Amino acid sequence: MEGLKRAAKKALETATGISPGLLENIRSRQRMLAILLHLFIAVMVFTLAFLFLLTGVPVIRENLIPPASKPVSDSSLVSGKAYTQKINSLRKEVTTIERRFDAMTPGQNYLIINTTDNRFYLYRHRTLVREGFCSSGSYIHLKSHDEREWIFRTPRGMFRVLGKATYPVWRKPDWAFIEEGIPVPPPDHHSRFEYGALGDYALSIGDGYLIHGTLYKRSLGMPVTHGCVRLNDDDLKAVFNALSVGSKVYIY
């Protein structure tokens, strides 16, 4: 066998004039090409399989389910008295629940505050009467050196106006001093009381949160407060006059 091969090689060499080295070179290149081709095919097969699993299977399996039976209008059923009674009682029930749901919207004045866009909407008898920019909690998480911490966020949900005040005085809490690197004074120290910082009016919604004015009007529309809601002077006046103690404030 080996002898035959050798003889064939020699015959090829004499016939074509190609040396055995060159022939070997060509063969090794051919082998390399074949390996690369197989590698390419393998990569392609694996990629296609992966894509099929990733995108093909979810699409195909969604469409393998037969649709449910379609509702019909059965004439023999519709003509019955029981059917009419049933449908009428259902209609009545739907209307009752929808009315009850609708009644949840206050007929009096109420305020909506959007803390994401920092906008407010004042409603009077279910009609939007005023809207504009406000400022809400900054989401700053303040950590003091004595292990105390605060997150300045505006609470969300439904609140009621618990109290109203004109020319309010701000009694600065501890964080107001800690934030500025000032030593915290005793509870009733005169440095705790700041006049004019809250504007002309303030409405309390509980837990120390207020709707008040601001000296920093350029920051309206941005989340910069310590949890209270700031409005500009005109909007604050309109809100103050429109809402009474007990009015609802919706914050989302």
Partner 1 sequence: MPDQKTYPHTPPEENKSAGRKAVRHLVYYILAAILIYYFILASISPVRYIRSLNSNFTPDSVSLSKTGPEYLTDSLYLDLTGRLAFARARTRMAATDSIGITVSLPDSVITIEIKGVTVRKIRIVEYSVAGSLRGVEDYTWTRMLAEPFTVESEIASIPKEPVMVKIAPRDTAEASAMPNIVPDTSGIDPVFFRLHLSKGLRLTVLQVTGRDSRKDAVALNRFIYRRKMNDLLVSAKHVARFRFPPYKPEIRIVVPKEEARVIYRAIPVSGEIVLRVK
Interface contacts to partner 1, rule CB under 8 A: 1, 38, 42, 45-46, 49, 52-55, 57-58, 60-69, 71-74, 77-78, 83, 86-87, 90-91, 93-94, 97-98, 100-101, 104-106, 110, 112, 114-117, 138-145, 151, 153, 156-158, 178-182, 223, 248, 250, 252
Q: How far is the CB of 11 from partner 1 (least distance, A)?
A: 18
Q: How far is the CB of 112 from partner 1 (least distance, A)?
A: 5
**Beta carbon nearer to partner 1, 70 or 190:** 70
Non-local CB neighbours of 40 within 8 Å, separated by 6+ positions:
none
Q: How far is the CB of 167 from partner 1 (least distance, A)?
A: 29
**Beta carbon nearer to partner 1, 46 or 167:** 46
For 68, the token pair is 């449910």
d(CA 126, CA 114): 17
Q: How far is the CB of 225 from partner 1 (least distance, A)?
A: 13
**Beta carbon nearer to partner 1, 121 or 237:** 121
**Beta carbon nearer to partner 1, 117 or 194:** 117
**Beta carbon nearer to partner 1, 181 or 187:** 181
Q: Which of 5, 9, 6, 3 is nearest to 26 (CA)?
A: 9
Non-local CB neighbours of 12 within 8 Å, separated by 6+ positions:
18, 23
Q: How far is the CB of 200 from partner 1 (least distance, A)?
A: 27
What sign has the CA pseudo-torsion 115, 121, 122, 125? negative
Cα 207 versus chain centre, distance: 26
Cα 91 versus chain centre, distance: 37
**Beta carbon nearer to partner 1, 199 or 223:** 223
Residue 51 buriedness (CB in 10 A; 0-12 / 13-18 / 19+): exposed
Q: How far is the CB of 208 from partner 1 (least distance, A)?
A: 19
For 172, the token pair is 């600065």
